[in-house]
Structure 1
Amino acid sequence: MTSYLQIHPEVQQALAQGKPVVALESTIIAHGMPYPHNVQTALEVEAVVRETGAIPATIAILNGKCCVGLTQQQIEQLGQANDVWKVSLVDMPYVVSQQLNGATTVAATMRIAAMAGIRVFVTGGIGGVHRGAETTMDISADLTEMGQTSVAVVSAGVKSILDIGLTLEYLETKGIPVVTYGQDEFPSFYSRQSGFPSPLRLNSPQAIADLLRAKWDLGLEGAALIANPIPEQYEVPAPEMEWYITQALHAAAEQHIKGKAVTPFLLKYIAEHSKGESLEANIALIKHNAKLGAEIAMAYVQ
């Protein structure tokens, strides 16, 4: 696979020396936030990882190469371009073979991180079972990828636009441990509460690293989901966010938005109609996750 991988020298050296490396996705740069918030946030998240003691590796596909670790110039280009694919697993062969540019989703970032030998991946929130999936069968590839790729995923829970209860059931079916950091209730992305108890709770990065090592040493392939509640001062109360989500879902249905276009549409709609409240929360939770992810990566290599 090395002919498809392009690993930044700093990341390559860190991996060779057994230093902590944290993978970061690029969908947020090209499809998750408006410019210049997207580029600024990506650079600030990398800075948080460095300040905590690990090496950041933002992942994207550029000119058909699976790039592990981007330069500031490459992040700027992704943030301003209009022709960047949103790449999940189903798109990877096409985007790579046609030598296109793509921002990687959770599933694609996990796969490329695993190819490079990175064990910890930080994102905002994962995809999951969409509301109404009993009729649409809309279930994110993030979940099936987590069932087979051995990378820890640090997020603020699952995106609150999803059916959280069904997503937790699906994760259990796939044998994916779900651990909430420091509280008993599973968080719901913008909010610290979801109404669902967390299957597991751990209170330190070291305890999480120990769980990961035990899981993989036992030959139990696949991910673990580490849910990190958004800092209290930045959260949007769950009832308020649910109102915005309901409005966004109605708008998506009226405009016949389907498939991979649904999530970006909903997030953009919510950001615009919440007077930027959700955007501020999104930025805060990603930085918060980056710090925890770096701490877990450090504990894991030690």
Structure 2
Amino acid sequence: MSLLKPVLNPEVADALAAGRPVVALESTIITHGMPYPANLETALAVEDVVRANGAVPATIAVVRGVARAGLTAAELEDLAQAKGVVKASSRDLAAVMVRRGSAGTTVSATMRLADLAGIPLFATGGVGGVHRGAEATFDISADLTELGRTPTTVVCAGVKSILDIPKTLEFLETQRVPVIAYGSDDFPAFFTRSSGHKADHRLDSAEEIAAAMRLHRDLGCGTGILIANPIPEADALDPAFIDGTITDAVAEAEARGISRKDLTPFLLARINELSGGRSLTANIALVKNNAALAARIAVAYAAS
């Protein structure tokens, strides 16, 4: 069996063979993004949202050395409770697979495996970016460079305001990645609908986005597309409150020497504690919102 192409579950394989819409989903939200059982409940709910909007979900992970696109409910349950699971970006995949390890896939790894599986569209919560202080630490997420070289469209709620958003947008421009805001002129900041920065482009329908995807591929641009979908108004957090909470969490991480792969999981967990659980509620809402939009785009793309 080739380790290069992810193993597809029958539902995903049948959909791809028939040209029906499929949406890839990442798995670090299960393994590192939320505590059990919220992680499992969210994973199942997000898959249900994709199906309710006309597409087939394909949650991607590495399970005992094998890349998988599409997990059963039992496999999701196992992943949600597993210990010692790696958080894998695209650079980690080969090493994890050779030693027959299991991994939750980040945005970069999910993009790479989705492309290998023939799935052009992927929904997540938020993508990584340029970290604050990157001029000293050089801490820049592999998600950004993957977007610059893998032709997968990623639907997200922007980037978290724990990051340096202006530098992130500048880096994406350097990587030739189109940044398209859905129904908004502003680039969203995950928990809030606006980061205070403009997106490169605005499109107002799933059909327009699907057409842009098709043209971008036909032009041979060779990069991904970032679709920034603002969190629903009813679920958004107050910008002043969340910015203050993030500042406190970032300061605590610096004082404790937490960095690299451990930084984002720590910050999200600490922000959830400091917000009394409100950030987790918002996180779940925006992931579902992104999954719904991605499914509608996938339906339009399959019909184009």
Matched, 1:93 2:94: yes
Q: What is the identity percentage for the equivalent residue pairs of Structure 1 and Structure 2?
A: 54
Question: For 1:168 and 1:296, how far apart are their aligned partners in 2?
Answer: 23
Residue number in structure 1 paired with 2:253: 252
Aligned match of 1:203? 204
Please list, as runs of the form range in 1=range in 2, the aligned pairs for 1:106-117 lying within 5 A after superposition.
106-117=107-118
The answer for the alignment partner of 2:240 in structure 1 is 239
- Gap regions ≥5 residues in structure 1: none
SS for the counterpart of 1:29 is helix
* Paired AA for residue 92 in structure 1: L
What secondary structure is seen at the aligned counterpart in 1 of 2:177? Answer: coil
Residue 154 of structure 2 aligns to a residue in which SS? Answer: strand
Query: Does 2:259 match 1:266?
Result: no
User: After superposition, where does 1:108-257 map in structure 2 within 5 Å?
Assistant: 108-257=109-258
Equivalent residue for 1:75? Answer: 76
Deviation at 1:2, TM superposition (A): 3.9
What is the alpha-carbon distance in structure 1 between the residues aligned to residue 77 and residue 273 of structure 2? Answer: 23
Indicate the residue corresponding to 2:15 in structure 1: 14
Cα offset, 1:7, TM superposition: 0.8
Residue matched to 2:62: 61
Instruction: For 1:82, give the aligned amino acid.
Output: K
Q: 2: CA distance between counterparts of 1:2 and 1:187?
A: 40
Q: Kindly report the root-mean-square deviation, in angstroms, between the aligned alpha carbons of the 2 structures.
A: 0.9
The aligned amino acid for 1:41 is T
Secondary structure of the residue aligned to 1:211 is helix
Check conservation: 2:3, 2:67, Cα contact below 8 A.
no
The separation in 2 between residues aligned to 1:173 and 1:15, in whole angstroms, is 33
- Listed one character per residue, the Cα deviations across residues 40-68 of structure 1 (whole Å, up to 9, x for unaligned) are 00000000000100000000000100000
Q: Secondary structure at the match of 1:187?
A: strand
In structure 2, the partner of 1:279 is: 280
Letter in 1 for 2:228: A
Q: TM-score, normalised by structure 1?
A: 0.99
Question: Displaced runs of 4+ in structure 1, greater than 2 A?
Answer: 1-5
TM-score by length of 2: 0.98
Unaligned runs of 5+ in 2: none
* Alpha-carbon shift at residue 126 of structure 1 (Å): 0.1
How many residues are matched? 302
Give the letter for the 1:121 counterpart.
F
Which residue of 2 is the match for residue 37 of structure 1?
38
Matched position secondary structure for 2:195:
coil
2:197 partner SS: coil
Counterpart contact for 2:162–2:246, Cα < 8 Å: yes
Letter in 1 for 2:245: Y
